[in-house]
């Protein structure tokens, strides 16, 4: 029977995520989208809930499988009663469905614009909407077909896991834990009575709960290492593929956010609004006016160039891909557009800060910078602890010390769920770091499209982009956390899935066992920290230089 507390906690968590998703949508949406784009809004709400639920499944898994006598992660009657294998399989399917089907369709539908059709005719009362749906379906079908082919080919060629195990010889079954199992808890047991045979991972897990004689266990003979070859399930392989794809984003953006998120919060306090004297007011006003004039000139030049070249920023068809000159021209045009958008966003932020120091000074919430300072200090502590944990537990083989794993177990002695709540905190923090890192990278490098979340000014395209980003990073976050807390969560279902099956897959296993992504994550965090110490504030591209470049191209 399922633990009533876990059922209630799970239900409350889902309701809380629903409230948070609706809150974000209501308070961040642009007024132009208030009475429109209902289907994309539903996709965003469910996507945010999926992201949060995926990250919180790890602490739920730990709570369900830890702290119960004889619990093994497979026999749910011995644990908290929740079938975590079913839970994980459901989310392993829902995440790719949302990333490759629902979000692309919503994005194509939202951004489709067919101005050549006349709406409201007697033949078709709403041809524009029908055209948008058909266009979105066409593009989405292409995405789904490509991903399906990629998955089928990958599953047929790389779905076997070769798991290194230990063989033992004895007269009876004995608990695997008595035989000194490794971090992943995989042991093959053989008997000397009758035909010897290998046992499945599930059967081995069931041995964990069996009573055993410690003295007898010490006499069992170690027959050496062996390799168990097994084909993972379709859902587990989907999780491996999604985690591998998401790691390319999470390793970069998560590492950047690990260093930049604390600094951003501290700067909110440092740059809090203050009364300006007449001289400071005049200088700030003149600086903003000059920047506005520069961006207006740039906007006019881009408008003229777009009127002459509707395909600005693109290679203009398949033929353009084979032309180096066309590709270079498209890259320059796209870079100019991104720098312009970056400059506009930074100007809007500075204007808001200027208003907070002048006309809106009396309406500014004085607690905001102090709350940011408190969160910034907490972020510094969590980021530093994460970096130390990576350095002493994840990267070395074998680990130098369990570090956080030991602290979580110690916390549980004081309060039974404190360790589980700590796992949730450290896991969700990684997700926020990835979103922050993506935005910081876009502001600094101006090579990707900016999709900031601004209160009351966020379009659905930005919502959909950020939802897709966090969904892609959700499984890498779970895998990273499962690896980081593998000692504390050794009996969890996800530990068996990621640290046993997926980590030993033919192709994906090399990336995970060699810790390639973890090294990238750690390196980006360190380099970003050094970079931000030298240049803590975004300045954006030079408006004068960008304007001169556009004028020279026009000429």
Percent of the chain with pLDDT over 90: 31
- Which of 16-20, 172-176, 434-438, 439-443 has maximum average pLDDT? 16-20
Mean pLDDT value of segment 437-466:
79
**Is 477:498 a contact under the CB 8 Å cutoff?**
no
**Is 268:369 a contact under the CB 8 Å cutoff?**
yes
What proportions of the chain, in percent to the nearest 5, are helix, strand and coil? Answer: 70, 5, 25
Q: What one-character-per-residue DSSP string does 126-174 give?
A: -HHHHHHHHHHHHHHHHHHHHHHHHHHHHHHHH-EEEEEEEEEEESS--
In this structure, of 175-184, 472-481, 520-529, the range with the lowest mean pLDDT score is 175-184
- Reduced to 3 states (helix: H, G, I; strand: E, B; else coil), residue 388 is helix
CB atoms within 10 A of CB 222: 11
What torsion, rounded to 10 degrees, do the Cα atoms 366, 372, 373, 374 define? 110
In this structure, of 247-256, 271-280, 317-326, 507-516, the range with the lowest mean pLDDT score is 317-326
**Is 56:13 a contact under the CB 8 Å cutoff?**
yes
To which residue do tokens 């002048």 refer? 358
Angle at 213 between CA 207 and CA 219, to 5 degrees: 100
Structure confidence by residue, pLDDT tens digits, 128-186: 566 778 888 888 999 999 999 999 999 998 888 887 766 656 544 444 444 444 433 34
Structure confidence by residue, pLDDT tens digits, 191-234: 332 333 444 444 444 444 444 444 545 555 555 666 777 888 89
Mean of the per-residue pLDDT values of the chain:
78
> Distance between CA atoms of 501 and 58, rounded to whole angstroms?
17
* Residue 516 pLDDT greater than 70, yes or no: yes
Instruction: Quickly state the pLDDT bin for 240 (edges 50, 70, 90).
Output: very high
The β-bridge partners of 163 are: 228
> Distance between CA atoms of 182 and 487, rounded to whole angstroms?
10
Could you list the beta-strand ranges (E) of 232-293: none
Q: Which residue intervals of 309-452 are DSSP H helices?
A: 318-321, 324-357, 367-389, 404-414, 418-445
Q: Which residues 6+ apart lie within 8 Å of 244 measured at CB?
A: 508, 511
Q: What one-character-per-residue DSSP string does 212-239 give?
A: --HHHHTTPEEEEEEEEEEEPPHHHHHH
> Distance between CA atoms of 56 and 425, rounded to whole angstroms?
9
| Crossing angle of the two packed helices 38-65 and 418-445, in degrees rounded to 10 | 140
Token pair listed for 187: 């042991």
* Residue 105 pLDDT greater than 90, yes or no: yes
pLDDT at 300: 81
Q: How far is CA 258 from CA 74, 254, 425, in A?
A: 35, 6, 14
Domain boundaries, the chain: 4-120+131-161+234-263+364-546, 171-189+204-219, 277-351
* Residue 290 pLDDT greater than 70, yes or no: yes
Structure confidence by residue, pLDDT tens digits, 252-282: 999 999 999 999 899 888 888 877 777 878 8
pLDDT at 426: 94
| CA-atom Rg of the chain in angstroms | 27
């Amino acid at each position: 029977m399922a633990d009533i507390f876990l059922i209630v906690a799970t239900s409350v968590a889902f309701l809380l995520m629903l409230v948070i998703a609706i809150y974000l949508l209501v308070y961040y949406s642009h007024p132009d989208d208030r009475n429109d784009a209902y289907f994309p809004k539903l996709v965003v709400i469910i996507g945010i809930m999926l992201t949060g639920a995926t990250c919180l499944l790890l602490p739920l898994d730990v709570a369900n499988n830890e702290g119960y006598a004889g619990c093994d992660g497979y026999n749910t009657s011995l644990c908290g009663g929740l079938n975590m294998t079913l839970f994980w399989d459901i989310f392993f399917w829902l995440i790719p469905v949302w990333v490759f089907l629902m979000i692309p369709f919503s994005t194509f539908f939202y951004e489709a614009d067919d101005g050549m059709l006349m709406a409201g005719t007697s033949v078709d009362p709403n041809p524009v909407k029908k055209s948008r749906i058909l266009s979105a379906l066409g593009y989405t079908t292409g995405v789904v077909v490509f991903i399906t082919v990629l998955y089928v080919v990958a599953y047929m060629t790389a779905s076997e896991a070769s798991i290194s195990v230990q063989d033992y010889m004895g007269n009876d079954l004995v608990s695997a834990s008595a035989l000194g199992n490794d971090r992943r808890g995989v042991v093959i047991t053989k008997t000397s009575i009758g035909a010897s045979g290998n046992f499945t991972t599930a059967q081995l897990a069931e041995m964990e709960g069996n009573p055993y004689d410690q003295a007898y266990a010490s006499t069992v003979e170690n027959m050496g290492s062996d390799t168990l070859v097994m084909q993972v399930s379709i859902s587990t392989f989907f999780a491996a593929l999604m985690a591998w794809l998401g790691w390319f984003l999470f390793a970069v953006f998560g590492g950047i956010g690990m260093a930049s998120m604390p600094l951003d919060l501290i700067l909110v306090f440092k740059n809090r609004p203050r009364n300006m004297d007449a001289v400071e007011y005049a200088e700030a006003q003149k600086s903003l006016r000059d920047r506005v004039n520069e961006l207006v000139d740039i906007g006019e030049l881009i408008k003229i160039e777009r009127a002459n070249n509707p395909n600005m920023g693109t290679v203009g068809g398949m033929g353009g891909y084979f032309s180096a000159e066309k590709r270079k021209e498209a890259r320059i045009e796209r870079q100019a557009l991104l720098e312009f958008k970056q400059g506009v966003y930074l100007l809007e932020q500075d204007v808001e800060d200027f208003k907070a120091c002048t006309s809106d000074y009396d309406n500014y919430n004085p607690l905001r910078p102090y709350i940011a300072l408190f969160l910034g200090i907490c972020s510094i502590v969590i980021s530093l602890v994460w970096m130390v944990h990576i350095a002493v537990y994840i990267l070395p083989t074998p680990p130098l010390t369990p570090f956080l794993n030991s602290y979580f177990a110690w916390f549980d002695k004081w309060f039974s769920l404190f360790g589980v709540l700590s796992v949730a905190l450290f896991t969700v923090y990684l997700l926020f770091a990835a979103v922050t890192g993506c935005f910081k990278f876009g502001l600094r490098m101006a090579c990707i499209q900016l999709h900031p979340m601004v209160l009351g000014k966020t379009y659905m395209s930005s919502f959909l982009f950020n939802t897709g980003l966090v969904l892609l990073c959700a499984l890498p976050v779970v895998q990273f956390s499962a690896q980081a807390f593998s000692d504390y969560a050794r009996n969890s279902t996800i530990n068996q899935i990621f640290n046993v099956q997926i980590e030993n897959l033919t192709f994906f296993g090399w990336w995970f066992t060699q810790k390639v992504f973890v090294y990238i994550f750690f390196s980006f965090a360190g380099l970003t920290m050094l970079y931000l110490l030298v240049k803590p504030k975004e300045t954006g591209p030079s408006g004068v230089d960008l304007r001169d470049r556009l004028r020279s191209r026009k000429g």
